[in-house]
Amino acid sequence: MRRELAAKIILATLLVLFLINFTGAHTYKLSAFEIEVDTKLSTNPSTVIKFPPVGRVRANTHKAPLDIFISLEALHQERLSYILENIEDKEELVDVLGERTKVIVQLHLIRLFIISLLGGLVGASLVKYDKEAIITGLLVGIIIITTFSALAYYSYDINEFSDPSFEGMLEAAPWMIALIEEGLENIENLGYEIELIASSIADLFSKVGTLKPLARVGGDLRVLHLSDIHNNPVALPFIKQIAHSFEVDLIIDTGDMTDYGTPIEGELVEDIDELGIPYIFIGGNHDSPQIVERMKGFENVIVLEEGVVEIGGLTIVGVEDPSAKSNEMRVKRGEEIREDKEKLAGMVKGLEKDPDIVIVHNSILAEDILGEIPLLLHGHYHNLRVYEEKGTLIIDAGTTGASGLRGLQTREGIPYSVVLLHYNKEEDQTLSLDTLDLIKFYDRHSGFILERKLVN
């Protein structure tokens, strides 16, 4: 009799632990996010926050013999935009997330409680299904889940995340914690700054017509060059406003749409198809195959991995950054990019006439063909400038996303920047580049600069 009872307790315990370890995962909605919560048995209990496939953050937060995994699975941009527009300060944001988090914790505990009861009941019944098995199994399940929950609750110390360990790509980026803190500090100003941009920039653009000389500035074709958005949600409204105000015909994006190239970041570019303008994109070193595929899904986007495109009377040659072919963000140099440089040079030389524009993310990919092409567009360096080398006009659009989150670290702020190229038709109907508008907007200082350059 005692042996039978002991067998019921042992089997009930083993099955409860097995189910907690392998069936505890479930996905919940946390405001604009979808998160998966999971538990695993552990001799070194900790809370692990996962950002797939970037990495994870781990902290030893409690004493219950369980690892608690929280994984960010999806981000809903429309919901996030609504929250940012309707939440006035960081305290309200924290309160909203905090209340929803409490509900998720309660739901997950209920789920684990049910799993434990079923595990105990089935485990004890494997020995012999009778009244004793039912009572024993239920008691085992209740004792295990209650003990684990109580240990986790009363020993949990969220302050352990002040000194966490980083794994994966996040291991090299502990500064992200500081960025999140600073982002919360600036949320009170974000809504005001976006409103200021939307209300004042149209006014500023309307005054462009007073600048001289303007005999041919309107242009038969207007091309907007942008680069290095780096996940900044303000960048797309900024681009939309410029595209509308200047009646842009074509957009060329020289890469680094994201920071880590993760599918979650890809959710932030959903509005690109709403531009309604042909949009040529090449991947940068911070993009990835997942982001490239995401961009291919938009009807108005032409993804130029390597090749030539004829559009609007222009011949454009481009090649994506070698790092965009993988999730590796490291800037490649020397022998690592020799093949890509040769491909680009081969495409240019294979044309019957010189291309109108060559586009790359990092200008070093085109250094061997300078002097053989009239115009090179690139990004990467976050430094808006126009210069000439070996007879080739070179334009660096700077950073249309103000360097993304990294821009928050600078005291003076980094401007949102783009370059507008004005083309006019000659008598033989070929297009010639006549004028450049270098546009910068400093959101922190509400400063707007437009510098007009005539191209000889």
pLDDT at 274: 86
As a whole number, mean pLDDT of residues 449-455 equals 86
Nearest to 104 by CA among 47, 30, 32, 156: 30
pLDDT at 53: 58
CA distance 440 to 371: 29
pLDDT at 184: 47
pLDDT at 260: 78
Q: For residues 66 and 149, is the Cβ–Cβ distance under 8 A? A: no
Give me 294's structure tokens: 């995401």
69-109 pLDDT, tens per residue? 988 877 666 666 666 566 665 566 666 666 777 788 888 99
Q: For residues 9 and 2, is the Cβ–Cβ distance under 8 A? A: no
The one-letter amino acid at 310:
E
**SS3 (DSSP) at 428:** coil
Q: For residues 301 and 339, is the Cβ–Cβ distance under 8 A? A: no
The mean of the pLDDT values for the chain is: 82
Residue 166 burial (CB count, 10 A):
16
DSSP states along 167-226:
EEGGGG-THHHHHHHHHHHHHHHHHHHHHHHHHHHHHHHHGGGGSS--SS-S-SEEEEEE
62-77 pLDDT, tens per residue? 899 999 998 887 766 6
363-383 pLDDT, tens per residue? 999 999 999 999 999 999 999
As a whole number, mean pLDDT of residues 449-453 equals 86
Contacts of 192 by beta carbon, 8 Å cutoff, 6+ apart: none
pLDDT of 170 higher than 70: no
pLDDT at 306: 94
What percent of the residues of the chain are helix, what percent strand, and what percent coil, each to the nearest 5?
A: 45, 25, 30
Q: List the alpha helices (DSSP H) in 207-337.
A: 235-245, 263-266, 289-296
Radius of gyration of the chain (CA): 28
295-331 pLDDT, tens per residue? 999 999 999 999 999 999 999 999 999 999 887 778 8
CA distance 26 to 69: 11
Give me 375's structure tokens: 């115009």
* H or E, element range at 349: helix 338-349
pLDDT at 279: 97
pLDDT at 354: 93
Phi, psi of 265 (to 5 degrees): -65, -30
CA 174 to chain CA centroid, Å, is: 17
* % residues pLDDT > 70 (the chain): 78
User: Who wins on pLDDT, 97 or 293?
Assistant: 293
pTM of the model: 0.61
pLDDT band of residue 13 (cuts 50, 70, 90) is very high
As a whole number, mean pLDDT of residues 226-242 equals 86
CA distance 436 to 456: 11
Within 13 Å of residue 364, how many CA atoms lie on the same side as its CB?
15
**SS3 (DSSP) at 420:** strand
244-255 pLDDT, tens per residue? 888 899 999 999
CA distance 401 to 258: 10
Cα-Cα-Cα-Cα torsion 230, 294, 420, 195, nearest 10 degrees, comes to: -60
Tokens 């976006």 map to which residue? 194
pLDDT of 185 higher than 80: no
pLDDT at 336: 85
CA distance 171 to 186: 25
- Cα dist from 71 to 18, 50, 170, 300, whole Å: 21, 5, 14, 33
**SS3 (DSSP) at 286:** coil
Nearest to 126 by CA among 12, 295, 252, 286: 12
pLDDT at 223: 97
**SS3 (DSSP) at 51:** strand
20-44 pLDDT, tens per residue? 999 888 888 877 778 889 999 999 9
133-143 pLDDT, tens per residue? 899 999 999 99
pLDDT band of residue 341 (cuts 50, 70, 90) is very high
Angle, alpha carbons 107-112-115 (nearest 5°) = 125
Q: For residues 306 and 313, is the Cβ–Cβ distance under 8 A? A: no
Partners of 417 in the beta sheet?
A: 440
Q: Order of strands across the sheet with 385-389?
A: 306-311, 314-319, 357-359, 375-378, 392-396, 385-389
Q: Are strands 66-75 and 279-281 parallel, antiparallel or unpaired?
A: unpaired
Q: Are strands 26-30 and 301-303 parallel, antiparallel or unpaired?
A: unpaired
Domains of the chain: 2-173 (no CATH), 203-454 (3.60.21.10)
The one-letter amino acid at 324:
A
406-443 pLDDT, tens per residue? 655 555 668 889 999 999 988 888 899 999 999 888 76
User: Who wins on pLDDT, 153 or 177?
Assistant: 153
**SS3 (DSSP) at 157:** coil
pLDDT at 94: 60
pLDDT at 189: 52
Burial of 369 (0-12, 13-18, 19+ CB in 10 A): buried
Burial code of 50-69, b = ≥16 C-beta within 10 A, e = fewer?
Answer: bbeebbbbbbebbebbbbbb
pLDDT of 267 higher than 90: no
Give me 98's structure tokens: 């905090």
Tokens 């500035």 map to which residue? 217
